[in-house]
């Protein structure tokens, strides 16, 4: 009665802890400690942590509650802090080479300037950008609020590589196979990833994973030979700290946050390093990224091989990728279309007047789009059985973040979508449709930008 019950299925997908045997050294040490504690005799001292001193415990509790009350009183019971003042009217950024543009040239800087100017205009028309000394750009933001400054910094520091994937053909299930490979099994994990578990495909909670689990799954994928359809070249390295480890505590302190109990923390990365390197070499490369007080030796290094990507899930509210609340999917890196295949994205309205996003396709993009959507539609037709429709999806990705994962109606488009202009509709507000159109318009910045002042 329960195998396909939607409530049970959705709860199972939100299961925060795997019950599988852990290979983490910290977890295994804990298991051995517990075994020794039990076998050493049950007359030993009471456990320290939860049989705390009867005298001290209330004192600690009272201090904690008073601190919480003080915070709540200061914020008026709201979790949102008050906005701070705008700060300096200029922001200086320095351009750095990327894998796409390994040398900083005058023409690359000119294109960078033009794209940054376009992006700034989406925040405030009065913001401007000029070339500074050397390879720097100076942005002038008169009267900008802290929120506006944060938004524009997020905008201009994204190199913005726009890619599109056949979702089910690339998203990887916990067993390491793609959803498309196992669609016939209709296992709960596969159905959650494909049909989105009451939320929508690609959404946080619809089969998504915390970063550590996603990177661990991705790291088990075999490396694939470089091909033109890949968005990334070479492996990508991450360094994690063990749950409740001193390294996680030190990293959290450096970031002015609190470590999240029971979860691995990201100490450094992701880092692109050429080819396969030794653990020692990876540790050396990470050393410059580590927070003060964190030793490289304390970290667990995981490498996501070429041909696999870890992408941040969609969420009702944007979550920073470094936040413990962020969720991720693992995808094979077989890109169907790139940002340069689409033109003139804009907010529009569908037939019922609801906000939507429309974009045109180049001649090459038109062919690629039809081929990709044909594969998606045919799989949807094959997977759907009488009375049950399993629509398949197309994912649009900006850098390492999913932007939207729309479905394709295989009954309407059995041979894919042949068009010069595509529309994405459903579930958009005026604001979210405008934001998506802006993100599609970004175009890839040729150079990376780092804030220096």
Partner 1 sequence: MGAHPDADRREAFEQLFNAHYWAVRAYVLRRAPAASVEDVVADTFLVAWRRLDSLNEDPLPWLFGVARRVLANQLRAERRRGALTTRLVSLLPARPPDWDPPAAMRHELAVAMVRLSPPEREALLLVAWEGLEPARAARAVGCSPAAFRGRLHRARRHVTAALADTPIAPRPSITGDAS
Q: Which of residues 294-323 bind partner 1 (CB under 8 A)?
A: 316
Helix then strand then coil, in percent of the chain rounded to 5, is 35, 20, 45
Does residue 34 touch partner 1 according to CB under 8 A? yes
Q: Select the span of 149-157, 228-236, 249-257, 399-407 touching partner 1 (CB under 8 A).
A: 399-407
Q: Which of 356, 360, 358 is nearest to 430 (CA)?
A: 356
Instruction: Tell which one of 45, 77, 228, 274 touches partner 1 (CB under 8 A).
Output: 77
Residues 185-224 that bind partner 1 (CB under 8 A): 196, 198-201, 204-205, 208, 210
Does residue 33 touch partner 1 according to CB under 8 A? yes
Does residue 42 touch partner 1 according to CB under 8 A? yes
Establish how many alpha carbons lie within 13 A of residue 276's alpha carbon, considering only the half-sphere containing its beta carbon: 6
| Helix, strand counts (H, E) of the chain | 13, 17
Smallest gap from residue 129 Cβ to partner 1 (A): 33
Instruction: Tell which one of 5, 320, 382, 415 touches partner 1 (CB under 8 A).
Output: 5
**H/E element, 90:** strand 90-96
| Number of other CB atoms surrounding residue 131 within 10 Å | 15
Does residue 68 touch partner 1 according to CB under 8 A? yes
- Per DSSP, 53 falls in state -
**Torsion sign over Cα 261, 246, 295, 258:** positive
Instruction: Tell which one of 194, 306, 373, 400 touches partner 1 (CB under 8 A).
Output: 373
Smallest gap from residue 201 Cβ to partner 1 (A): 8
Residues 417-436 that bind partner 1 (CB under 8 A): 417-428
Q: Select the span of 26-34, 137-145, 287-295, 300-308 touching partner 1 (CB under 8 A).
A: 26-34
* DSSP-H helix ranges across 76-125: 106-121
Does residue 10 touch partner 1 according to CB under 8 A? yes
Does residue 7 touch partner 1 according to CB under 8 A? yes
Q: Select the span of 2-10, 179-187, 265-273, 382-390 touching partner 1 (CB under 8 A).
A: 2-10
Q: Which of 395, 427, 223 is nearest to 312 (CA)?
A: 395
Does residue 79 touch partner 1 according to CB under 8 A? no
Write the CB contacts of 415 (distance below 8 Å, at least 6 apart in sequence): 370, 374, 377
Residue window 138-177: x/- pattern of binding to partner 1, with contact defined by CB under 8 A: ----------------------------------------
Contact 303, 235 (CB under 8 A): yes
């Amino acid at each position: 009665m329960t195998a396909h019950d939607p409530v049970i299925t959705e709860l199972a997908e939100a299961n925060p802890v795997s019950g599988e045997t852990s290979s983490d050294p910290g977890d295994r040490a804990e298991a051995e400690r517990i075994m020794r504690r039990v076998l050493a005799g049950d007359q030993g001292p009471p456990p320290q942590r939860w049989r705390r001193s009867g005298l001290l415990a209330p004192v600690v509790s009272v201090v904690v509650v008073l601190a919480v009350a003080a915070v709540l009183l200061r914020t008026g019971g709201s979790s949102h802090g008050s906005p701070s003042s705008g700060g300096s009217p200029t922001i200086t950024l320095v351009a750095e080479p990327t894998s796409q543009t390994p040398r900083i040239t005058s023409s690359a800087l000119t294109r960078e300037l033009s794209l940054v100017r376009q992006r700034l205009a989406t925040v405030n028309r009065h913001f401007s950008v000029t070339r500074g000394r050397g390879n720097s750009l100076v942005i002038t933001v008169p009267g900008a609020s802290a929120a506006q400054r944060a938004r524009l910094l997020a905008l201009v520091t994204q190199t913005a590589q726009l890619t599109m994937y056949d979702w089910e053909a690339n998203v990887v299930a916990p067993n390491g196979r793609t959803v498309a490979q196992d669609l016939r099994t209709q296992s709960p994990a596969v159905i959650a990833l494909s049909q989105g578990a009451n939320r929508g495909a690609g959404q946080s909670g619809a089969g998504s994973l915390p970063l550590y689990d996603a990177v661990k799954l991705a790291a088990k994928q075999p490396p694939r030979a470089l091909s033109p359809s890949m968005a990334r070249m070479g492996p990508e390295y991450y360094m994690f700290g063990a749950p409740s480890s001193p390294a996680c505590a030190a990293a959290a302190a450096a970031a002015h946050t609190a470590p999240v109990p029971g979860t691995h923390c990201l100490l450094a990365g992701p880092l692109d390093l050429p080819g396969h390197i030794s653990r020692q070499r990876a540790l050396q490369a990470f050393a410059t990224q580590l927070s003060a007080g964190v030793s490289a030796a304390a970290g667990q290094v995981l490498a996501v091989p070429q041909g696999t990507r870890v992408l941040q899930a969609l969420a009702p509210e944007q979550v920073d990728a470094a936040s413990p609340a962020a969720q991720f999917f693992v995808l094979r890196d077989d890109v169907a279309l790139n940002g340069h295949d689409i033109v003139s994205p804009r907010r529009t309205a569908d037939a019922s007047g609801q906000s939507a996003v429309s974009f045109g396709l180049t001649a090459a993009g038109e062919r690629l789009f039809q081929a990709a959507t044909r594969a998606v539609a045919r799989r949807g037709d094959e997977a759907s059985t009488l009375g049950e429709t399993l629509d398949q999806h197309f994912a649009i990705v900006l850098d390492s973040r999913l932007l939207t994962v729309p479905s394709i109606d295989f009954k309407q488009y059995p041979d894919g979508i042949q068009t010069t202009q595509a529309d994405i509709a459903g579930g958009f507000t005026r604001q979210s449709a405008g934001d998506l159109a802006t993100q599609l318009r970004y175009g890839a910045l040729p150079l990376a930008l780092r804030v220096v002042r």
